Structure 1
């Protein structure tokens, strides 16, 4: 694999230049904050905390997304005549963990045929299955041309580094169209999101459900707190180191059982609390004078992103209350449009979350593997569409 420093190239289309940065810290905070969606206060552009300078930099600074863990920074920097125009958060990966768009089957098939699948390039937010901008362009530039240049650059860098593939995961549909035009293959999957239809309170939301479903959710919420459990929302100054200690214990317990080795370390949470406290919501469950469970959420300008959950006591329905019902309560109170509750989980459907199609784009360098993947993805897209229609038809909402 060619060194990152050797991958910079002049792109023929539009006279753009692309360079590869080994760390987010090689960008300045000021220039990164000019990228669409990466900072608050951009007119007409929703803020996504996961593509902010702080979030991506903290992942590296804490040692969570670095070469040692299989996430070597290969971030693309787009310029024209020395002017910064865009960036693409990208990593050279030596495995397929922490991505939530699974390509293990592709890797196994390619290596059985004598190929070498790793390293690959992964354009994503590490450990975060949330849709958000990937082809990041300076807000005041011609984003159409700059996005196309970034898509072309990613393909060129993949070929120049002689890696097997480049993957852009959890990208918006309009960006996937740009990537398809550059030769990437479209892939779809399913998540479940709560859509706030302008509800003034939780009862307004319940009124959209069938009677039997309303009764079931009310009962579930009562039983979740029946053991003397209370719920607290912690954000901003409430995010003390003591609160992070408690939450990290929950995270390690659940993460250790689910993944074997949790992706995020204690330093990550301290830095998030120090630099992004107003973008974080901890939903914490208390019983007997101590916290026993919690979930971390990140707050965008119009979306609440549910992420990790953990507990040290098991109680019926507590997971649903802390992760899903409380997220709906918060979104309604803050007038957020959407709750993204993370990857997978058809059990979310019964709790008022709707099936939503997520998208990614994949450039496969080897022609034979590319043909096989293209055929597979065509079948998979059809299956995802059919499942989505079925789930929408069998949701908990009232008919008519």
Structure 2
């Protein structure tokens, strides 16, 4: 017999217990990443993220399943857009917020969302989570960017699946960047070489640094680059400076910064993380706009890093059909949704079914535009 409890902070959960359930070294689901978000104030009730992490324990107190869970009073920082659903609730006089979110904040990266000792524990956790909207008196539960096992467990608990599309680069055993380029069409090879040449001609070079290789004086500059990306859109940045300090203390071996220099002056950066087989591009920023700087910092140098270090996959972030022209390939992503109100549950279920068919067609069309007929198996 197992009982579901909820923790008001990931900092109240033992890190070793949590990580023992992950089944992967993907960084974002690890205790250290989630703890860095909360300890830095990037995630907090004041910002509309109330931690309510789900813990499934046996009678003897053993943790057999867990899920990152938040009570949300908005839909920002999620990357699976449900604003139209919130409007539909308002039109029939119902409150969409608060809602429950099973996800990694600000992180549209597919991976485990229901951590478990085994499939039975995962199914038990999914069943318990599906009942929470009714028990807590909230509109819904949303599990975003789940891997296959998490998605299957939620579907077994009668959730609705929603399909999305992202783009990833896969390493097919390339000896170097030029070997990768040879797999592309002549037109695309020329485009990429032209973009990279612009950087060389401008005197811009990228260096890859671990946190312990970054001088103290450079940290403020790197954060200013990140902040500028949001400022030009009129937004506050999601992550505080303290987040990067927390993360590099808790998970320094999985943190990388790709720093662009014009001569000896830093002009841009991409913040990335890695697992044993995958590089993850997360955030970028620059001092001023250089033509092709984003592509060089966020894509091409990352591809080179994967080839050099034998990584199987480069997940460079959400969205971006332009990635097709740069050797990335379309892959499906999944989220699952439990809707408490039966009227809206039916309407949303019908919508995501029709949307999934359109997304499947879109993904097939995108694959026809890329140079690869079949993507390799996606790393976990």
TM-score (norm 1): 0.91
Equivalent position of 1:68 in the other structure: 46
Instruction: Quote how far apart the aligned CAs of 1:224 are.
Output: 2.6
Equivalent position of 2:283 in the other structure: 308
Asked if residue 251 in structure 1 is aligned to residue 226 in structure 2, the reply is yes
CA distance in 1, matches of 2:200, 2:133: 51
CA distance in 2, matches of 1:338, 1:308: 18
Equivalent position of 1:42 in the other structure: none
CA distance in 2, matches of 1:274, 1:227: 35
> Following superposition of structure 1 onto structure 2, how do residues 33-112 of structure 1 map, counting pairs within 5 Å?
33-37=19-23, 46-81=24-59, 82-112=61-91
CA distance in 1, matches of 2:84, 2:373: 40
What does the per-residue CA deviation read over 1:352-379, in whole Å, with 9 as the maximum and x for residues that have no partner? 0001111110000000111110111011
The alignment's C-alpha RMSD in Å is 1.4
Equivalent position of 2:149 in the other structure: 174
Gaps of 5+ in 1: 1-14, 38-45
Asked if residue 260 in structure 1 is aligned to residue 239 in structure 2, the reply is no
Equivalent position of 2:369 in the other structure: 394
CA distance in 1, matches of 2:14, 2:320: 38
What does the per-residue CA deviation read over 1:194-243, in whole Å, with 9 as the maximum and x for residues that have no partner? 01112121112111111221122111111133211111101142134333
> Following superposition of structure 1 onto structure 2, how do residues 102-141 of structure 1 map, counting pairs within 5 Å?
102-138=81-117
Are 1:124 and 1:168, in contact at CA under 8 Å, matched by a contact in 2? yes
Are 1:87 and 1:136, in contact at CA under 8 Å, matched by a contact in 2? yes
Correspondent of 2:325 among 346, 350, 375? 350
Equivalent position of 1:206 in the other structure: 181
CA distance in 1, matches of 2:178, 2:310: 15
CA distance in 1, matches of 2:115, 2:286: 36
Gaps of 5+ in 2: 375-380
Instruction: Quote how far apart the aligned CAs of 1:36 are.
Output: 2.3
Equivalent position of 1:12 in the other structure: none
Instruction: Quote how far apart the aligned CAs of 1:397 are.
Output: 5.0
What does the per-residue CA deviation read over 1:42-94, in whole Å, with 9 as the maximum and x for residues that have no partner? xxxx3110011111001001011110111100100011122211110000000
> Following superposition of structure 1 onto structure 2, how do residues 369-384 of structure 1 map, counting pairs within 5 Å?
369-384=344-359
Asked if residue 284 in structure 1 is aligned to residue 284 in structure 2, the reply is no
CA distance in 2, matches of 1:84, 1:316: 51
Are 2:64 and 2:121, in contact at CA under 8 Å, matched by a contact in 1? yes
Instruction: Quote how far apart the aligned CAs of 1:398 are.
Output: 9.0
What does the per-residue CA deviation read over 1:87-129, in whole Å, with 9 as the maximum and x for residues that have no partner? 1000000000000000000001111110000000000000011
Q: Which moved more, 1:244-253 or 1:222-231?
A: 222-231
Moved over 2 A (4+): 239-244, 396-399
Asked if residue 22 in structure 1 is aligned to residue 1 in structure 2, the reply is no
What does the per-residue CA deviation read over 1:248-299, in whole Å, with 9 as the maximum and x for residues that have no partner? 0001111122361110111111111222221111111011421110110111
CA distance in 2, matches of 1:106, 1:216: 41
> Following superposition of structure 1 onto structure 2, how do residues 221-240 of structure 1 map, counting pairs within 5 Å?
221-240=196-215
Q: Which moved more, 1:173-182 or 1:302-311?
A: 173-182
Equivalences, count: 373
TM-score (norm 2): 0.95
The secondary structure found in structure 2 opposite 1:258 is coil
